[in-house]
């Protein structure tokens, strides 16, 4: 009790409990997973909205995290991971006009470098923007002027050199605390608490008490993945390891509860094991101190961000073997675990406590009750029925292609349709859709919009129903070398999708 009382004193202004969410932009989607609890749940009814008007920008660059939105809902902020001489933070109007870009980067200390690719810009209630690259934390004003820039902790001597001599120890999207400070956990487990106005580091150094995870071999990195300028080649291996939770201590975005407790998923001190960390911030004479409240061991290789239940008594996370865990947020005790195919995707949580998780194979989405009972597995086979059978590759198949977003009445998820090739997990993609599933049954309701390429990311849904899609081009780029040959073998009028990348914004009619 004393520790939690001290935490409240150091993090919350005055004597009242402030909401963590109060410091985020009210514009509709201020951070990677929508809120401080990483729930990806929005308070709108999709209803029977129809969509036809759309725009597409940043073609030729992969976008893997959610674009975020200004307080007035009129500006979008997007990160990319392109090479020297390119900008990697971009601001657009909601109608697609480019407002500004960060200055092109040329060295680790000059501009926003490619590690911004896996860090959504976090927007505060004043419209300021907070973003990590490989080795720096930036704050920008809404007009693109730098507010401050500070260095991130340097990698230790025995940390993995992720990109040669370019120092890499990035946040995977920052967060705000209930006191309005910027919080982040680096790839190698360094926790930082930063004053939002000045950029002053408030806490004494703290690194997660864990060994780095082993190199992830779950899926081999294809040479063609995100090549051709989609991202800087020197940082591809870093991005791939981060997605699959390998070679680092932490590969995801922390969740922050209203009482100030921080939840981080990473590796454990035990070799071959993962862990969920509950952290508190304590007052001390020479600055704030990070304290370990609990460490709960789970399976290895979690690239998923922890997600909090609506009243924050549970935190959910999955590991690379597909176990989805529910942990008590006070003690860290495992309340239940369920076997799924939810390997790398972060779970979303609805207002009624139902957990929705992306699956890497089989049904696109699985729904699990707050008590750990499977409610449904999604059914989207109708999408594959839109394509003809192939004499060589057989019947088309559909596959989940991005984390689900939750509305009051539907689950929104990107789906790829294509043909199965021997020894390749992902389908050879010929169509990509953003679809709505019935929230009570998982049945396909309808296609909301076609996508120009595979998403491989997160869909932001704004208060008026506007859909903002990251276009990662992970699958299309990985399989691009097969396109010239395979197109000859596909049914008539069917071709492998082009590699485009970028973002797509789709408006309700």
Which of 506, 459, 496, 489 has the alpha carbon at shortest distance from 475? 496
Chain centroid to Cα 459, Å, comes to: 10
Q: Please report the pLDDT score of residue 426 as a whole number.
A: 82
- What six digits make up the tokens of 451? 């996508």
pTM across the whole model: 0.95
Residue the block writes with tokens 């993945």: 225
| Coil, strand or helix at 350 | coil
Q: Where are the domains of the chain?
A: 2-508
pLDDT score of 344: 62
| Euclidean distance between the first and the last CA atom of the chain, given in angstroms as a whole number | 52
Distances, alpha carbon 386 to alpha carbons 62, 426, 453, in Å: 27, 18, 17
Q: Over its length of 509 residues, how does the chain's per-residue pLDDT go in tens digits? A: 333 323 333 333 333 334 778 999 999 999 999 999 999 999 999 999 999 999 999 999 999 999 999 999 999 999 999 999 999 999 999 999 999 999 999 999 999 999 999 999 999 999 999 999 999 999 999 999 999 999 999 999 999 999 999 999 999 999 999 999 999 999 999 999 999 999 999 999 999 999 999 898 878 899 999 999 999 999 999 999 998 889 999 999 999 999 999 999 999 999 889 999 999 999 777 789 999 999 999 998 767 899 999 999 999 999 888 899 999 999 999 999 999 987 667 899 999 999 999 998 889 999 999 999 999 999 999 999 999 999 999 999 999 999 999 999 999 999 999 999 887 878 899 999 999 999 999 999 999 999 999 999 999 999 999 999 999 999 999 999 999 999 999 999 999 999 999 999 999 99
Proportion of the chain in helix, strand, coil states, percent, rounded to 5: 10, 35, 55
Strand order in the sheet with 365-368: 348-349, 355-358, 365-368, 374-377
Tokens read off for 427: 């389908």
Residue 141 corresponds to which tokens in the numbers above? 């004003």
pLDDT for residue 343: 63
CATH architecture of 2-508: 7 Propeller (2.130)
Report the distance separating Cα 262 and Cα 24, nearest Å. Answer: 17
**Segment holding 485, helix H or strand E:** helix 483-489
Q: Which two tokens stand for residue 98?
A: 């480019």
């Amino acid at each position: 009790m004393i520790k939690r009382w001290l935490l409240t004193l150091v993090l919350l202004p005055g004597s009242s409990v402030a909401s963590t969410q109060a410091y985020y932009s009210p514009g509709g989607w201020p951070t990677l997973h929508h809120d401080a609890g990483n729930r990806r749940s929005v308070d709108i009814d999709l209803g029977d909205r129809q969509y036809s008007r759309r725009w597409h920008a940043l073609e030729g660059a992969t976008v893997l995290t959610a674009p975020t939105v200004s307080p007035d809902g009129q500006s979008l902020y997007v990160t990319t991971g392109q090479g020297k001489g390119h900008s990697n933070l971009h601001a657009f109007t909601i109608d697609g006009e480019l407002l500004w870009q960060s200055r092109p980067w040329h060295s680790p200390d000059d501009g926003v470098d490619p590690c911004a690719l896996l860090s959504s810009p976090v927007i505060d209630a004043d419209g300021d923007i907070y973003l990590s690259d490989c080795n720096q934390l930036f704050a920008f004003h809404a007009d693109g002027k730098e507010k401050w820039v500070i260095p991130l902790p340097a990698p230790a001597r025995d940390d993995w050199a992720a990109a040669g001599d370019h120092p890499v120890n990035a946040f995977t999207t920052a967060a705000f605390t209930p006191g309005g400070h910027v919080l982040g956990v680096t790839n190698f487990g360094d926790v930082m608490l930063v004053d939002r106005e000045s950029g002053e580091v408030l806490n004494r150094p703290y690194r997660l008490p864990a060994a780095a995870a082993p190199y992830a071999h779950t899926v081999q990195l294809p040479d063609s993945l995100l090549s051709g300028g989609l991202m800087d080649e020197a940082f591809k291996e870093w991005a791939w390891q981060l997605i699959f939770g390998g070679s680092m201590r932490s590969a995801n975005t922390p969740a922050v509860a209203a009482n100030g407790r921080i939840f981080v998923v990473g590796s454990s001190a035990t070799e071959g094991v993962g862990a969920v960390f509950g952290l508190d911030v304590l007052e001390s004479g020479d600055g704030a101190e990070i304290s370990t409240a609990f460490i709960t061991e789970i399976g290895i290789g979690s690239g998923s961000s922890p997600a909090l239940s609506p009243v924050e008594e549970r935190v959910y996370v999955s590991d690379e073997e597909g176990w989805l865990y529910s942990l008590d947020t006070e003690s860290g005790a495992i309340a239940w675990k369920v076997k799924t195919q939810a390997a790398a995707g972060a779970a979303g949580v609805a207002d009624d406590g139902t957990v929705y998780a992306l699956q890497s194979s089989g049904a696109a989405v699985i729904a699990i009750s707050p008590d750990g009972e499977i409610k449904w597995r999604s059914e989207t086979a109708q999408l594959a029925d839109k394509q003809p059978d192939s004499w060589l590759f057989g019947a088309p198949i559909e596959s989940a292609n991005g984390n689900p977003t939750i509305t009051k009445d539907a689950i929104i998820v990107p789906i790829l349709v294509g043909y199965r090739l021997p020894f390749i997990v992902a389908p050879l993609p010929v169509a990509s859709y953003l679809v709505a599933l019935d929230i009570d049954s998982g049945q396909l309701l309808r296609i909301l919009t076609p996508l120009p390429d595979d998403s491989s990311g997160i869909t932001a849904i704004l208060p008026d129903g506007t859909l903002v899609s990251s276009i990662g081009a992970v699958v299309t780029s990985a399989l691009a070398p097969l396109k010239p040959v395979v197109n000859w073998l596909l049914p008539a009028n069917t071709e492998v999708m082009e590699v485009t990348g970028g973002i797509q914004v789709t408006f309700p009619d």
